[in-house]
Structure 1
Amino acid sequence: MTRQAGPPQQRTLATALPGPKSQELLARKENAVAPGIGVTVPAFAAEAGGGVLVDVDGNSLIDLASGIAVTGVGNADPVVVAAVAEQAARFTHTCVMINPYESYVEVCEQLNAITPGEFDKRSALFNSGAEAVENAVKIARYATGRAAVIVFDHAYHGRTNLTMALTAKNMPYKQGFGPFAPEVYRVPMSYPYRDGLTGPEAATRAIEAIETQVGAQNVAAVLIEPIQGEGGFVVPAPGFLPALSAWCTESGALFIADEIQTGFCRTGDWFAVNHENVVPDLITTAKGIAGGLPLAAVTGRADVMSAVHPGGLGGTYGGNPLACAAGLATISRMRELDLAAAARRIEALAGTRLRALAATTPSIGEVRGQGAMLAIEFVRDGGEPDAALAKRVAADCHAAGVIVLTCGTFGNVIRLLPPLVIGEDLLAEGLDVLETAIREAASEAA
């Protein structure tokens, strides 16, 4: 692994968490910030880099979350910081639709080159993953002249009105925020641990639901995360994605890969669809694209992307020059450091340990994932989701100075998203803490 500039790469607990300064800030937050903005780890950040985050009380925490898969190149990577600072000194904004700038074009050129498919492509830049997904749906509907969008059980696609409709989980994402956008249809996902189906079998089930409940001739797009994120890091069985992609080609629908969490080397390749040689018509990206700055994109077939009339896509801040500078530097660093290979090394270390732990821990139903996108599903009574155990394990990790996240439709999954530049010793220490937390919590729950 590559050592990053910044704070020492070690776990240090100077205080109990949260420390006194974080407690003061939490009180200020309560009086100033809308309570709908929750907090997972109540330690206010002061500095971060490599695989650690240092809080305002001097606690140094091992970061196995990367700001939800955003800081793959490490927080405050020096090359990214320098690129942003240089751009900020020249200009911070013009709005690309008023006065364009070269870095926007260059980001699009890079995306067109690295995303799957040898055909001619075009890209458009936005601010967030939800914006990218929403615009991908707009483009698909415009290009096909159809309205229906197919999504899947356990899916997460964002928090705007349309992307809430696309998202499966009610709490906390949808409760009380309806009515939602129409012409969104949900079908079963391939979830090997829970359905026991092969990829082709699960695809047949999903396609039959589409054809009988929606009608192939009405489908503008099938939208899917190649590995589901918030829904529990669900990895579809081999053959599921290729079968859906082939059906889209046959039916005239567009296949949209939501690679917002999986993209940019996270799964051991530039994009998760590459693992099965699936080539989407449109691909959405965000999170890991720009080292922490807000940047997102839709990239796809030139004929599809060019269907929309001039002015039909855009936004005041989309492809902001600072974000574009960060994006170009981040992509360069991913190539230079070969972070796809780094993700595979993380899987070899962490995945091996976690699967060995699962073999002796009945409370672990499954360890799954690809690359540096790994998850542990906790169960009881032969497969019933155990959200309480996942919550307890996460809390114990946080108290011990290791940042992990929970997820899953049932809230019973812990997900690991370490920076791709994390040192192996630091990762091993974080896994030691996680393993201890799992063993202790599982023993008490037995």
Structure 2
Amino acid sequence: MNALLRTTALATLALTCMARADAGTLVLESWRTDDKALWDTVLLPAFTKAHPGITVKFTPTAPPEYNSVVAARLASGSAGDLITCRPFDVSLDLYKKGHLEKLNGNPALNNFPDSAKVAWQTDDGKDTYCVPMASVIHGFFYNKKIFAELGLKPPATEAEFYADLDKVKASGKYVPMSLGTADQWDTSQVVFTGIGPNYWKGEDGRKALIAGKAKFTDPQFVAVWQTMAKWPPYLAKGYQAQTYGDSQTLFASGKAAIIPAGSWDIAFYQKEAGLDFGAFAPPVQKAGDPCYISDHADIGMGINTASKNKADAKVFLDWIASKEFADLYTNKATGFFSLSKFGVQVQNPVAQQMVGWRAQCKSTIRLNAQIMSRGEPSMENELWNVNSQVLNGKLTPQQAADRIQSGFAKWYHPAASK
């Protein structure tokens, strides 16, 4: 009898341990393939140290395939427990389909301002389904060696910006600005969304379009394309065939003075021996104008509603919302800035410059990230094409504005949707 009891007890203990082992394993889905080493060697060990009973496996999917692959896995029930969330509509669609856990009332969300949470909320703001992680900031990088050689200073106004470009061009030694139109996305997500907020006044202009109180044919939007139309004389010969990678190489090699860039590229350029670069914010139109920056909510984290281990997944989300994670991610994933309320001491000098713009300028998100790319024609796709064609001299600024507004008006009727 005693032997039987002992056997039963041992079997029960073994089953309990097995259950705990299964319960303590989480699979994390992400598109950040470049961050695998960071998660495996820094972030996850830090989490495990604080929560030794929980194991997390980071399983990224290549960025171009991530949206479709994760959506398919969620639909089939084979997705991981933790879902890295793209901002706005992609994740909102997953939530509407019942794939992301509602996080309303989760104390972890108190560590973030309302402006950070909006990227992962329903349009009415009633439901939140992902914890915010980080944003990226848009601006310009400049080669300090070239600037010193030619006696240039980082520009604050457009007049100073063009004066710098003219001096570089006159020297005949360097390409004034490294930018191509072959890939198209950078002309939209880096250039248009980077310089535009100073014209349409950031959130005021974006929300006016959504409310139907402004149109892309209004002067403050047309002016952005007018500015872009001035840039071709400062670009490299054959820029129409120049990819984003080509632009990076041109700047990294010290052959170009300026490049429109996102903070995510800081780590890439810092790998280049001998390249000393700094950053400046998109120049304002004239001295004294208020400045605006694209400080785009880029990445969040949610829980798969089909997860069999939601308790541990919630523990992980709590850690994502902690000061420890904010410090680690900001300083290890260089160029990605915590969206939390915690004061993070940014160590990288260029990243420190860029995040410092938050104290000087008003932040906004990419213009069409919320609501405006839901219909057909897709505004995201249209902007890629239109912005490239303006730089290529194939469309006038007014034609660009007409095309975007016409496509938007075909499906978006704000008055009717209220």
TM-score by length of 2: 0.27
- TM-score scaled by length of structure 1: 0.25
Question: Rg: which structure is higher?
Answer: 2
